[in-house]
């Protein structure tokens, strides 16, 4: 039944259903809408940077956890005294590396790497790098027959470390490789 009250005329432009009313409030003609301002490329980039910064601010600052260095009062030092270089490695008693240095890392190049002085400097620098772990006494394992063999141990002593033991772990051949054949002339 249609409402015949003259005070409220029924018009099709204002529907009584609220769902229809929400859609009818929007302008149907594109000319009624306000024209959008054309953005330049730089304005678009600035807008995207601002939105990216806002996204970071919403997520909050990244929490950086402080790396906890473990305390290693007793350590093992493995010295590899090769013909051309000397490598000094500090490990804990389980074998996990905590620091080290070589003659090449200490700044020596070429034939100067194979000198006893370079081995001493490498051992001192390696001991300096592991000071943060609180290393006080070490067990030294020496491997190889290079020229920096004894000087690297002296470098550890001069760095102020207590040497508990010095062990030679140089591999010894039992029988060795096959010798060369007899020379034929």
pLDDT digits (tens, 9 = 90+) for 18-74: 555 555 555 555 555 555 556 677 777 677 666 555 555 555 677 777 766 788 889
Enclosing H/E stretch for 52: helix 41-59
Task: Give the side-chain half-sphere CA count within 13 A for 128.
Answer: 11
- Reply yes or no on whether the pLDDT at 102 is more than 70: yes
Q: Which of 166, 83, 72 is nearest to 127 (CA)?
A: 72
76-168 CATH pick, 3.20.20.190, 3.30.420.80, 3.30.2020.30, 3.40.33.10: 3.30.420.80
Higher pLDDT, 185 or 16: 185
- CA trace torsion 14, 17, 18, 21 (10° rounding): -30
Would you state the pLDDT for residue 21?
A: 54
Distances (CA, A) of 57 to 10, 49, 51, 52, 54: 52, 12, 10, 9, 5
Q: Report, as an integer, the average pLDDT of 81-103.
A: 95
- Judge contact between 129 and 157, C-beta under 8 A: no
Phi, psi at 129, each rounded to 5° = -70, -25
pLDDT digits (tens, 9 = 90+) for 132-166: 898 999 999 999 999 999 999 999 999 999 999 99
Strand-strand pairing, 97-102 and 74-81: unpaired
């Amino acid at each position: 039944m249609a409402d015949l009250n003259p005070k409220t005329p029924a018009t099709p432009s204002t529907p009584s259903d609220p769902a229809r009313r929400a859609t009818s409030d929007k302008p149907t003609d594109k000319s009624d809408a306000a024209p959008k301002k054309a953005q330049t490329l730089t304005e678009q980039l600035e807008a995207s940077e601002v939105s990216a910064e806002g996204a970071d601010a919403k997520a909050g600052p990244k929490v950086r956890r402080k790396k906890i260095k473990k305390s290693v009062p007793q350590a093992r030092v493995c010295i590899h005294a090769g013909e051309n270089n000397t490598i000094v490695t500090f490990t804990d008693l389980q074998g996990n590396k905590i620091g080290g240095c070589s003659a090449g890392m200490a700044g020596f190049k070429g034939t100067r790497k194979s000198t006893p002085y370079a081995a001493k400097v490498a051992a001192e620098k390696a001991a300096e790098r592991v000071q943060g772990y609180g290393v006080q006494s070490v067990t030294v394992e020496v491997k190889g027959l290079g020229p920096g063999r004894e000087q690297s141990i002296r470098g550890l002593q001069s760095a102020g470390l207590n040497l508990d033991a010095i062990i030679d772990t140089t591999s010894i051949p039992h029988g060795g490789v096959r010798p060369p054949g007899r020379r034929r002339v």
